[in-house]
Structure formats: C-alpha cells, structure tokens
Amino acid sequence: NAGVTQTPKFQVLKTGQSMTLQCAQDMNHEYMSWYRQDPGMGLRLIHYSVGAGITDQGEVPNGYNVSRSTTEDFPLRLLSAAPSQTSVYFCASSYRGSGGYTFGSGTRLTVV
C-alpha cells in the first residue's frame, strides 16, 4: 500500500515553462486536494476534487489547472511558471465524509 505518491520530488523550471506535477493514490479515496506551502507559512488550498470528473477551486487557483479523469490520479498543471510559484506542493486524499486526509511527501518546485 503506497498511499499518496507525488512525482517529481524536486523540480527547477525557467519562467514561462509549463509542467505537470503528478499525484496518485491507491486507497480508492474519493477526495483529493492540492496545496502549496511557502517558506515559514501554512498550507493553502489550490484545487480539490470530490470524485472523478469533479473539480473546484480553492484559495489560490490562479496559474494552475487540474483534471480528474480517474479516481487514482489528480495531476496539477502549471501553465506558465512564474517565480511566485516557487513553493512546496502537497497532494492529499481522503474518503468521502469526516475522516482524515493522507498527504504525499511533497514536490519542491523552484522557478528561476
């Protein structure tokens, strides 16, 4: 049971480049979310999904796209990277209802 797997663990992008952060879970969780965490700060919600084909925006969605074609995968796309998107990105998943979320180990992204 791998839990929540994020790839890559580290990435350096140039301003204007695009890329996709991958997130996969093997627990058949309905809910999945993406967060970013800037140095010394708490986590901020970017996008979330309550099931395949259903996504919605969180607090800081600008510059990011998501889609959820399967229960297992929830990729996060950066359309045109900017230095302000330098951050650590966490993916999380949960069963529907009140239970706890499982978090991935994060992707550390630097945009130069």
Partner 1 sequence: DAKTTQPNSMESNEEEPVHLPCNHSTISGTDYIHWYRQLPSQGPEYVIHGLTSNVNNRMASLAIAEDRKSSTLILHRATLRDAAVYYCILRDGSWGKLQFGAGTQVVVTP
Which residues in this chain contact partner 1 in the complex, by CB under 8 A?
Answer: 31, 33, 35, 41-45, 48, 50, 58-59, 90, 92, 94, 96-106
Min CB(103)–partner 1 separation in Å: 4
Task: Annotate 28-44 with DSSP letters as a single string.
Answer: --SEEEEEEE-TT--EE
Cβ-contact 36, 46 below 8 angstroms: yes
| Minimum CB–partner distance for residue 67 and partner 1 (Å) | 18
Residue 6: closest CA among 109, 111, 84, 94: 109
Smallest distance, partner 1 to C-beta of residue 59, A: 7
